[in-house]
């Protein structure tokens, strides 16, 4: 089974770190948190390239650093070694250029703002004219099927609707890159299926690059063009699985096809092998 | 028959409308007020009885228990005036006395109220200002906070005369010195509450702002300040009561001729306990009304901020 990226590929990535089609290039990246109990190796020697238009999932048990890796891409954390470029620049520059939209595990809506005003929040901060804000709010609320809920406050919406509002908020920035940290983790299976399907349609329509953190194998396989299997202590990449499922919208039934199950099997094997039980 | 055995569903009492207001709001308050009044009358009889016995003895008058108790209710200078004496005094000094008179409780109340309000507004502004500085600067957090706290350990009665004297020396007289004492007492709860409020946003809400590359002032206006509003109102309720105390205390040591504090002082000089108690009750009513106004403002703001009713 292919483990990590072959060395040849690695040196190639280093040779052209700002490849035209590459949105994110990560090379020998490590992140160590200094704690009172000694250093914690959250990420170790991560090598990864994410191409334009890819849908990439990070999957792994808790503590494998998948969220941390996403936060490094978003410049919410800094690596302690190695290098990373986002859109050919540092993550900080990418953040200052508002190159990405970030969807958190929780909706993180501001309770004192209506749904429409929550979606408008990043647009206010970007200083867009009011008319442009209104257009984008309307367009993106329609995209996530929330029209008619503009004047509601977050507590008046179900968890699934709140998370959809937070996706609309991330999309309103109109970034080419969407970073999503277990966005559907707290939702029930039916809502999650539905949102997965919608997300895939949205991705196919807008051709954005999506980086998606999850701990659900079916979700990762269903959504992704590339699945990054991670293992804990220290957090590292165990396997990278390129999906041969068709790009673009996929029917939910695809999850019962042999191709799907084969990929899911390989991911599961990777998770099992990478999981250390010795502690 | 079996259908009849199924009892009619227990009558669910409504939680809105007049009867609900009577049951949920009026009744509990009325019961406590009644209990206080009964306790007050009992204490009037107990505390005023010794002096009344002396009076009877001096007059060589025979008296029964009932005579004694009735007499304790209407002494001219009782140790503890009875509620109806206080009500009568308040009625006399508010309704029956023109507002312009120096004997009018409305006049004295207004003097105290005006410095309370000025002090409260200044205190709230100062409190919010200090809180903003403290939250945005580690140095100020370390250097300012201990002073803010220790300022409140000084007894206000000790510092009030000095504030008045010093301000008089630099030519500030009248309303402002008393208002500054109110400010001194009221800024503290506001600072402490607003500091907590400005620090209350969750990490995830702050991270969100970071992903938008928001400037510190955008984070302040769009996240920290709205998050601090409930804390601000809670603090303001404490602050306005403290302001009233400050205004009254400010009137005591300065020999002020007007204000509820001056009424208290004059009452105690001349043993006019009825006057003292009517000033006290007026101050308590004023505090209650002020807090109710802040609460009403709080409710309005909360409704606009979409808080679940």
B135 and B235 share one domain: yes
What is the extent of the structural domain holding A144? 114-174
Mutate to test the interface with A, among B211, B220, B225, B233 (most CBs of A within 10 A): B211
pTM of the model: 0.81
Residue B128 C-alpha, separation from nearest chain A C-alpha, in angstroms: 20
Strands across the sheet with A81-86, in order? A38-51, A22-35, A81-86
Alpha carbon B130 to chain centroid, angstroms: 23
Q: Domain holding B177: CATH number?
A: 1.10.3720.10
A223 and A188 share one domain: yes
* Mean pLDDT, residues A224-238 taken together: 90
A186 in Cβ contact with A202 (< 8 Å): no
Pick from A29-38, A107-116, B94-103: least confident: B94-103
Domain count along chain A: 2
Q: Tally A–B CB contacts below 8 A.
A: 57
Domain for residue B297, yes or no? yes
B202 and B118 share one domain: yes
pLDDT at position A2, please?
A: 44
* Mean pLDDT, residues A228-237 taken together: 89
A108 in Cβ contact with B205 (< 8 Å): yes
pLDDT for A32 beyond 70: yes
pLDDT for A108 beyond 80: yes
Contacts of B202 in chain A (CB under 8 A): 108
B243 and B165 share one domain: yes
A189 and A92 share one domain: yes
B115 and B40 share one domain: no
DSSP string, chain A: ---S--HHHHHHHHH-TT-TTEEEEEEEEEEEEEETTEEEEEEEEEEEEEETT-EEEEE-STTSSHHHHHHHHTTSS--SEEEEEETTB-HHHHHHTT-EEEE-SS----TTS-HHHHHHHHHHHHT--HHHHHHHHHHHHHHTT-TT-TT--GGGS-HHHHHHHHHHHHHHT--SEEEEESTTTTS-HHHHHHHHHHHHHHHHHH--EEEEEES-HHHHHHH-SEEEEEETTTTEEEEEEE--SPSS---GGGGGSHHHHHHHHHHHHHHHHH-----
Among B80, B97, B128, give the residue marking a domain's end.
B80
Domain for residue B194, yes or no? yes
B75 and B157 share one domain: no
Count of H helices and E strands in chain B? 14, 0
Residue B154 C-alpha, separation from nearest chain A C-alpha, in angstroms: 39
pLDDT for A225 beyond 80: yes
pLDDT at position B125, please?
A: 97
What is the extent of the structural domain holding B65? 14-80
Contacts of A154 in chain B (CB under 8 A): 306
A161 in Cβ contact with A184 (< 8 Å): no
pLDDT at position A248, please?
A: 80
pLDDT for A20 beyond 50: no
Contacts of A74 in chain B (CB under 8 A): 211
Residue A75 C-alpha, separation from nearest chain B C-alpha, in angstroms: 8
B212 touches A: beta carbon within 8 Å: yes
A236 in Cβ contact with A44 (< 8 Å): yes
Mutate to test the interface with A, among B212, B300, B309 (most CBs of A within 10 A): B212
Report d(CA B281, CA B279) in Å as an integer: 6
Span A54-76, pLDDT tens digits: 999 999 888 888 999 999 999 99
pLDDT for A223 beyond 90: yes
Report d(CA A86, CA A27) in Å as an integer: 12
Q: Do B213 and A98 touch (CB under 8 A)?
A: yes
Contacts of B301 in chain A (CB under 8 A): none
Q: Facing residues of A49 across strands?
A: A25
Neighbours of A262 (CB within 10 A): 13
A219 and A153 share one domain: no
Q: Which residues of chain B have pLDDT under 70?
A: 1-11, 254-256, 309
B-contacting residues in A 164-183 (Cβ below 8 Å): 173
B163 and B287 share one domain: yes
Q: Do B212 and A104 touch (CB under 8 A)?
A: no
Domain for residue A2, yes or no? no
């Amino acid at each position: 089974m292919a483990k990590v990226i072959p060395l040849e590929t690695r040196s190639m990535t280093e040779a052209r770190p700002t490849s035209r089609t590459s949105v994110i290039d990560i090379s020998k990246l490590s992140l160590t948190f200094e704690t009172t109990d000694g250093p914690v190796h959250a990420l170790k020697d991560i090598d990864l390239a994410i191409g334009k238009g890819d849908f990439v999932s990070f999957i792994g048990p808790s503590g494998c650093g998948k969220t941390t890796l996403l936060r490094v891409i978003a410049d919410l954390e800094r690596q302690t070694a190695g290098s990373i470029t986002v859109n050919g620049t540092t993550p900080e520059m990418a953040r200052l250029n508002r190159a990405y939209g970030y969807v958190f595990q929780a909706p993180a809506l501001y309770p004192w703002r209506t749904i429409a005003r929550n979606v408008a929040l990043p647009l206010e901060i970007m200083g867009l004219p009011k008319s442009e804000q209104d257009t984008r709010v309307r367009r993106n609320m329609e995209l996530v099927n929330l029209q008619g809920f503009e004047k509601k406050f977050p507590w008046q919406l179900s968890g699934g609707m709140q998370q959809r509002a937070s996706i609309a908020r991330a999309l309103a920035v109109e970034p080419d890159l969407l970073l999503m940290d277990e966005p559907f983790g707290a939702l029930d299976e039916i809502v999650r299926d539905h949102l997965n399907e919608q997300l895939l349609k949205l991705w196919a329509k807008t051709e954005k690059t999506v980086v998606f953190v999850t701990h659900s194998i079916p979700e990762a396989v269903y959504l992704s063009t590339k699945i990054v299997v991670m293992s804990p202590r220290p957090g590292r990449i165990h396997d990278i699985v390129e999906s041969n499922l068709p790009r673009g919208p996929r029917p939910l039934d695809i999850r019962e096809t042999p191709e799907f199950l084969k990929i899911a099997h390989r991911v599961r094997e990777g998770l099992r092998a990478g999981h250390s039980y010795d502690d | 028959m079996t259908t009849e055995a199924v009892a009619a569903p227990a009558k669910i009492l409504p939680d809105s409308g007049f009867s609900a207001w009577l049951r949920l709001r009026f009744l509990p308050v009325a019961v406590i007020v009644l209990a206080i009044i009964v306790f007050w009358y009992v204490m009037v009889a107990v505390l005023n009885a010794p002096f009344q016995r002396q009076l009877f003895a001096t007059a060589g008058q025979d008296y029964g228990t009932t005579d004694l108790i009735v007499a304790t209710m209407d002494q001219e200078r009782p140790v503890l005036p009875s509620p109806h004496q206080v009500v009568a005094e308040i009625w006399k000094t508010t309704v029956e006395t023109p507002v312009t008179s120096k004997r009018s409780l409305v006049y004295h109340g207004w003097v105290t109220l005006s410095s309370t309000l000025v002090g409260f507004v200044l205190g709230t502004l100062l409190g919010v200002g200090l809180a903003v500085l403290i939250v945005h600067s580690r140095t100020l957090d370390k250097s300012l906070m201990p002073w803010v706290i220790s300022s409140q350990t000084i007894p206000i009665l000790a510092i009030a005369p000095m504030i008045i004297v010093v301000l008089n020396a630099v030519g500030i007289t009248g309303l402002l010195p008393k208002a500054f004492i109110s400010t001194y007492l009221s800024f503290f709860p506001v600072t402490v509450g607003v500091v907590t409020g400005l620090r209350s946003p969750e990490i995830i809400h702050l991270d969100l702002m970071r992903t938008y590359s928001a400037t510190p002032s955008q984070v302040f206006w769009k996240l920290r300040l709205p998050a601090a509003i409930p804390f601000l109102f809670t603090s303001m309720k404490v602050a306005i009561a403290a302001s009233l105390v400050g205004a009254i205390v400010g009137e005591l040591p300065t020999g002020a001729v007007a204000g509820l504090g001056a009424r208290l002082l004059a009452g105690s000089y001349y043993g006019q306990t009825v006057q003292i108690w009517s000033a006290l009750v007026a101050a308590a009513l004023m505090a209650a009304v002020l807090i109710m106004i802040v609460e009403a403002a709080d409710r309005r703001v909360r409704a606009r901020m979409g808080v679940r009713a």
